[in-house]
Every structure is written in structure tokens, then in C-alpha cells.
Structure 1
Amino acid sequence: MKTMTKLLATALLTVSAPIMVSAQVGVAPQPTLQRASTLPAFTHPQTVPADLASVDLALNNTGSFQGRFTQYGSDGSVSSGQVHLQRPGRVRFEYDAPNPLLIVSDGVTLVQQDRALETFDRVPLAATPLHYFLKENVRLQEDTEVIGFQKLPTQWRVTARDGSGEMAGAITLVFDASNLALREWIIADEFGGQTRVELSDLRYNDRLDPRLFILRDEREDRRDRRRR
């Protein structure tokens, strides 16, 4: 059961998300990934605890944001759409047409809907890498195993994985060095693949409609009506 949950969690956020893409395949390698790979895992080891505390504070001061996202798959595929995030635990990724995917977390369960196939897939939010920075009180040093912290002139990059070993892979959070605003994240799976999600046009701490984070399976609603 745990294996199935982990596989589904990986699929939701890495492999299966770009099933249909809204841009052409064949994207050039991302320069930020290449540049960071030439640096040591910890560029400033003496200041890591204080730097992590600053990152935690920045995340905890971000109650919500909404804007655009662009997702780059390790196979060169690209897709984009609207993102709405409300901490703790709530997020909505609405992919642009023709991509049929909608991914919603209500704070407990992450649901992926494929409108074309009329499917719903569910995993606990806590079984996904997104759980770490959607918590009400983010504490990366206590809740994860931080395996990298790179401070570049324009960005800070924090790489963490599940310290318990229950979840495979790792997540890298990329922040603007000037204000520690979250700009992107990279999810690396256990097979060596990477999915990068870049954020843009963000508006912070707006009041978001709570209905954005509710996704019901219409098939279940129809079955319930028939039973009555």
C-alpha cells in the first residue's frame, strides 16, 4: 500500500502531469540547473541554520498567492496554467487547454482530475513533496533532511528530502535572493527525472475563494443521486 501511494504521489507531481502539453517539446536545458550543479551542495555551511530560519520565516509570512506557472518535464515537455495557493495545505493547478489536468489539494488530500479520461486520482497531501512548504508552520530543518543550500547572487536554493525515508526523491525550492520570494521548485524522482515548476505574475496574500480548493468527483455525485 505504501509503495502504491508513493508511486501515485510521484505520478501526480512529476511523471504524469504533462500528459498533454500546451507548448512544443524540445526545450533547451535550464541554465539555473546547470549553474547550480557546478557548486558544492552547501555554499555557505556556517550560516545554514540562520539562512534556513530566514527561509522558514518568508514562507510562513506568505499566506496565499496566485498567478501563473510553467512546468518543464525532464523529457522536454512544457505545460502552463494558473496556480492558486492558500496555506496551510491548499493549492490548485489548473492547466491551460488542451492539457486536461486539474490538480487540487483541500489541505488533506491531493486530487488529480483528468477531464479527457474522466479519471480522479487521490493521494494524501502528506505523501507528496508539496507537503513540506504548505504546512501551517514551515520548519524545513526539523521536518526534512536538508541535503543542499546554495546561495547564488540572484537566488537561494534549498534541497530537501524526507528524513524518514518513507518518500523517495527530493525537492529543491528556489527563492529570489533579494526578498526570499518563492520563484520555482524542482522535484527529482528516484529514477533521475526532474520536473521544474516556475512561478510568475504572482499576487500575494489576496483573499482566495475557498471553492477553488474543492474538487468533487461528478461520477460519485451521479451515483449518489441514483441511489436516492
Structure 2
Amino acid sequence: MKTMKLLRPLGIAFAAAGTLALGLSLGNSNTTPSLAPPAQAQSSSADLDRAITALRAISTMKANFNQIDRAGNTVAGTMTLKRPGKIRFDYGKDADLLVVSNGKSLYMIDYEVNQVERWPIKSSPLGALLDPNRDVKQFGTLVPTGSSDVLSIDVRDPNKPEFGRINLIFVRKPGAPGGLELTHWVALDAQNHRTTVRLRNHRYGVAVPDSTFTFRDPRRSSRRPG
């Protein structure tokens, strides 16, 4: 099997897993409020605040990732993140796929067929990761995990299920920004396509030039960037 045959459906599911953050960014004043008891609601709100603080405390980060689709197919690569809103998923020099955000738009570049697909960050489930103050705070729900060291936050617009959802998992870790480390997330689109991304070997505060989030447009050249 060619690498691209495995990567492309994974990339599509990951980069375009519904339009979750579009609904999140628009907001909805009719959202039903939580009916949790006051003490529980207060605790949940505090944990949400801690998770948001941890995400916002990351200025730059690199991590290795494994990406798994609903059929169990797995690919690996390196994720690079830089505030505000920049992210890159590099699947290696032999891959024909690149997923990158320049802070405004999220791109999936397919070098095998010389195509580029673009989504505004607001139309990507990554909005919850790249703009945690807006998305996680407004539409995040704490999910019980059975462990005080693990936080699970489900982010979705309950009034717009067609926009999909993303579930962020944090583990308490001294030394990580905000004392929490994002270990993995699961994105689910409106077609029930599930993509799981697991992170390891986190490196914080590394030097990341803005050129990391640029790419050569294959529609203008048939050559893959080196």
C-alpha cells in the first residue's frame, strides 16, 4: 500500500472533521445552562479554567504524534505548535501529505495529486486547540474520568451537532505549562469519522521560526518542497 493511500483519509478526517469551531466562534445565547449542583459546577468550572490556562501557557511546542483513524490505521509524525494559531503536522519526508495552519487558515496539501484544501480555523475542530479561550470556555464540558490526575473535556455545540466535536485529554504533570499536559484528543465529524491523535515527547518553549508554517503550493510546481 502506498503511504498516500493510508495518509489521505486520515488527513481528511483530521483536517476537516466537521465544522465544530465555526459554531463555537459564532456562539449561541440559547445554549442550555448546566444543571449540575453548585459545588460540582464550581469544580468543573475550575478544571476548565486550569485546562485553558495550560493551553494558553504554551508559547511553542513540539511533540511526536500517532494518528489513528476509525479502522485502526496509524501514521506517525511531528507536531509543531506556535501561538497564536499556528500548527504543523509533518508526516515525514516520504509522505505526500502535509497539514499546516498559518494562524488564519488550515491547509491540507496533497503532493501526490497537486491539490490544496483550505478551511478557516473557525471551521476546524482544531479551533478548540488553537483558540482555547473562546472554544473550550464557551462550549467545553468536563467528562468524569475516575482519576483526579486526568481531565477530559468534551467541546461541541449541543445545538449544532452537525459541526462535530473534539475531546481533549490532559494529565496533571509538574513542569508542564499550567501543570497539565495535553496527551491526546479525539475528533469526531458529522459523518461519525473518528480520528485520534496521541502526543508524546513534548518539548516546550523551543525556537520555532514562522517559516515552519509555510509550504510550497503544488498547484504552482509539481516538485515536493525539500
- TM-score normalized with structure 2 length: 0.72
Aligned-residue offset at 1:202: 1.3
Structure scoring higher RCO (CA < 8 A, sep ≥ 6) equals 2
Q: Which amino acid aligns with 1:220?
A: R
Deviations 1:142-192 (A, max 9, x none): 2x2x34422442421101113663862110001013431111110012222
Which residue is equivalent to 1:68?
Answer: 64
The 3 A distance-change label for structure 1 pair 212 and 162 is farther
Are 1:83 and 2:84 an aligned pair? no
Aligned pair partner of 1:165 in 155, 160, 167: 160
Are 1:186 and 2:149 an aligned pair? no
Gaps of 5+ in 1: 1-9, 17-41, 223-228
Which residue is equivalent to 1:22?
Answer: none
Which residue is equivalent to 1:112?
Answer: 108
The 3 A distance-change label for structure 1 pair 204 and 156 is same
Which residue is equivalent to 1:199?
Answer: 199
Gaps of 5+ in 2: 1-10, 18-35, 174-178
RMSD: 2.7
Are 1:54 and 2:50 an aligned pair? yes
Aligned pair partner of 2:169 in 174, 180, 187: 174
- TM-score normalized with structure 1 length: 0.72
Could you tell me how far apart the structure 2 residues matched to 1:134 and 1:98 are?
A: 27
104-113 or 116-125, larger mean C-alpha shift: 116-125
Aligned-residue offset at 1:14: 6.0
The 3 A distance-change label for structure 1 pair 201 and 219 is same
Are 1:11 and 2:12 an aligned pair? yes
Could you tell me how far apart the structure 1 residues matched to 2:213 and 2:54 are?
A: 23
Could you tell me how far apart the structure 2 residues matched to 1:164 and 1:212 are?
A: 37
Which residue is equivalent to 1:129?
Answer: 125
190-199 or 91-100, larger mean C-alpha shift: 91-100
Which residue is equivalent to 1:214?
Answer: 214
The 3 A distance-change label for structure 1 pair 70 and 219 is same
Could you tell me how far apart the structure 1 residues matched to 2:221 and 2:96 are?
A: 20
Q: Secondary structure of 1:181's match? A: strand
